[in-house]
Amino acid sequence: MVVILYDLCYNQNSCFDYKIKDTKKGKVPVMEIKEILDLYSKEEHSGFSEEEIVQAEEYIGVALPQIYRDFLKNYGKDKVNSYCHRLLVPEEISTSYQAIEEELEYDWKEEFEEVVQEGTQEEYEDNEYFTLWQLSKEEWHTITDNYVLLWVENQGVWYAGYLLSDLEQGKENPPVYVSTNDDFITFEKCKDTLEEFLLAIYTAEWN
């Protein structure tokens, strides 16, 4: 049997299209994440330090699940994590609200201020960034939830991560969500667990 590096194709209806090939004997069992990474890595596995992870947690204001902390410590620096879609290193981890704040400040602020001055707000009625810009941050939840961003597509088309409220509730292995509209506003559930998400990132069908 051979594991093929997955050419991850995004499908908005089915999220990541990860399949296990049916055989005459039934479905071939999926390998453990460690086994897959052992196949990819010609060198020793390497990861991030506890200090680096804690700094990320302090920035986003919540602890990461232990299962993801262990992954970052053991495999976070493995080269496979940047072959196609990219793991966000601890210093890059942020929330979608923090990303929205940055986009509003640097990409939208001047345009929105000009729109208000000209009285042409109706042209932006369908622009959710404009709606968020007019609201207090405490009201953003009426438009979008807050997510912890952990992975990014190789051209920045989508981001994947956890729902912040799941981490605040202390869920041990919460679902992974992915942005679906090339923004930080619209997300949908992608996989039920971290393991399923990583399998979609790392592997294709068994042959």
Q: Scanning the structure block, which residue is given the tokens 């590096």?
A: 5
pTM of the model: 0.84
d(CA 207, CA 50): 38
C-alpha to C-alpha distance for 76 and 47, rounded to whole angstroms: 4
Residue pLDDT tens, the chain, 207 long: 333 333 333 333 334 333 333 434 444 445 788 888 888 888 899 999 999 999 999 999 999 999 999 999 999 999 989 888 999 999 999 999 999 999 999 999 999 999 999 999 999 999 999 999 999 999 999 999 999 999 999 899 999 999 999 999 999 999 999 999 999 999 999 999 999 999 888 875 322
Helix 194-202 / helix 33-40 crossing angle, nearest 10 deg: 30
DSSP 49: -
- What are the chain's domains? 3-97+140-206 (3.40.1580)
DSSP 190: E
Token pair of 147 as six digits: 């997510």
